[in-house]
């Protein structure tokens, strides 16, 4: 684990990363890669905040293709927060069972009831209110703000951290890197000025398709020359 550093040093390192040649390459080539390699999911075709929030809760620690196979059926059965709030946990349990996510039934019903009771059945548009919802942490809240409302906010999960760690050589000092405020700060400074949805989707898809946990596709990566880890992986694959 790296030695602890001052906040001033962290700010300087963040600044260096954000305005580096590496960062410029990352933004440009991710966008280029995404144009021809993006994945298509129903929740990306809507701006309905509830549908997007529902998808993000279902996607937590779950493969996107697994959710995609049943997402429309679940949404049709519970099309609004009100419909979900009045459903029994058993009904939601049965709807989620084919996804292998039945244990999330109580959380989803509780979330919907808070939306109805505290927000008139609408998804709130601020981070503090979103993270107060049952089952919603900072990642889901940020993803909802970005994908539903077009907010210029970063997303940081284990997949995004994997890209940043390999590409920039960043190592979090926190026990739970996805909660590391410095990583969130770095992710925020790396955001492009526009097309935020596409940029964040590109990070998600690139991690799923190219910068995978095992056997990343370094040979075909558009950013291999700038990546701090590509040489290591290419050597291992020889």
- Catalytically active residues are 56, 139, 157
The number of beta carbons lying within 10 Å of the beta carbon of residue 27 is 17
The CA-based angle 123-125-128, given to 5 degrees, is: 100
| Contact criterion met (CB below 8 Å) for 102 and 93 | yes
DSSP label of 137: -
Buried b (16+ CB within 10 A) or exposed e, 64-91: beebbebbeebbeebebbbbbbebeeee
- Neighbouring residues of 131: CB distance < 8 A, sequence distance ≥ 6: 137, 138, 141
Rounded Cα–Cα distance for residues 111 and 60 (Å): 15
Rounded Cα–Cα distance for residues 44 and 51 (Å): 10
């Amino acid at each position: 684990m790296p030695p602890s550093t001052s906040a001033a040093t962290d700010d300087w390192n963040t600044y260096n990363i954000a305005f580096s040649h590496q960062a410029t390459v990352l933004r440009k080539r991710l966008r280029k890669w995404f144009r021809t390699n993006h994945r298509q999911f129903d929740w990306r075709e809507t701006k309905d905040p509830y549908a997007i929030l529902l998808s993000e809760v279902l996607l937590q620690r779950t493969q996107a293709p697994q959710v995609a196979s049943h997402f429309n059926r679940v949404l049709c059965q519970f099309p609004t927060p009100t419909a979900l709030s009045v459903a029994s946990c058993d009904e939601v349990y049965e709807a989620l069972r084919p996804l292998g996510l039945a244990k999330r039934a109580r959380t989803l019903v509780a979330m919907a009831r808070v939306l109805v009771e505290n927000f008139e059945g609408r998804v709130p548009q601020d981070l503090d209110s979103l993270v107060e919802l049952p089952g919603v942490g900072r990642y889901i809240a940020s993803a909802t703000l970005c994908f539903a409302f077009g907010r210029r906010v970063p997303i940081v999960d284990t997949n995004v951290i994997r890209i940043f760690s390999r590409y920039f050589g960043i190592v979090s000092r926190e026990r739970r890197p996805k909660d590391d405020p410095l990583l969130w700060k770095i992710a925020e400074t790396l955001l492009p000025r526009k097309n935020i949805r596409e940029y964040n989707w590109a990070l998600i898809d690139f991690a799923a398709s190219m910068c995978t946990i095992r056997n990343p596709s370094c040979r075909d990566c558009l950013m291999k020359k700038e990546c701090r880890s590509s040489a290591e992986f290419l050597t291992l694959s020889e």
